[in-house]
A and B are shown apart, each in its own frame.
Chain A
Amino acid sequence: AQSVTQLGSHVSVSEGALVLLRCNYSSSVPPYLFWYVQYPNQGLQLLLKYTSAATLVKGINGFEAEFKKSETSFHLTKPSAHMSDAAEYFCAVSLRSASKIIFGSGTRLSIRP
């Protein structure tokens, strides 16, 4: 079975600082991995997706994530935080043979001026 663990339900950084949101996954077979962002009162927006091509995946809004099989991690980073990045971020996993997405519990990102 697949699962996702997001470390830290709330992360706060200063504007301009590095953003690092942590995600570890568990899967018996090579998975697809995702990061989604949810702004208040909105649905989910796909930030990026790992499908076994390059291990460093670049997404929208300056975010990127690195797939590390040895650490079973898929951490999300952004070099310089912007106030508009404040939102909830979800790491997710799915099997390559199925569409069902398993989501982590989410990390709320706050940006301090």
Chain B
Amino acid sequence: KAGVTQTPRYLIKTRGQQVTLSCSPISGHRSVSWYQQTPGQGLQFLFEYFSETQRNKGNFPGRFSGRQFSNSRSEMNVSTLELGDSALYLCASSQALQETQYFGPGTRLLVL
């Protein structure tokens, strides 16, 4: 069974731009969570989706948003990029809420 896939793997943007990251969960998994990893703040939870509905949200500004499609694929969007948004963005999928999460390789975003 294929693992969690994330596209693109690397991305360079400039301040003020917006970006959309994509995550395809493991086949049969219906829950997708997003995390941000930075050297200063470590791994922080962004949000979780299940059945196309946001079920849980971390402490991030409204510039960070996401959605989930009927096939369980998920996207996250960051608008008006700031230098501090440079990070590794990790997606994790699970069969259902509160089940074990399996992580993708991440998308490394660099904001210049």
Contact = CB atoms under 8 A, between A and B. Distances in A.
Given A43-B104, A44-B103, A45-B103, A99 B94 contact: yes
B43 A96 contact: no
Which size class do A's interface residues fall under? 20 to 34
Interface string A97-109: 1111111111000
B105 A100 contact: no
B90 A102 contact: no
Secondary structure of the B contact surface, majority rule: strand
A14 B103 CA distance: 29
Contact of B45 (A36, A44, A90, A100): A100
Counting chain A CB atoms within 10 Å of each CB, the highest count among B43, B90, B94, B104 belongs to B43
5 contacts: A98-B98, A99-B94, A99-B98, A100-B45, A102-B45
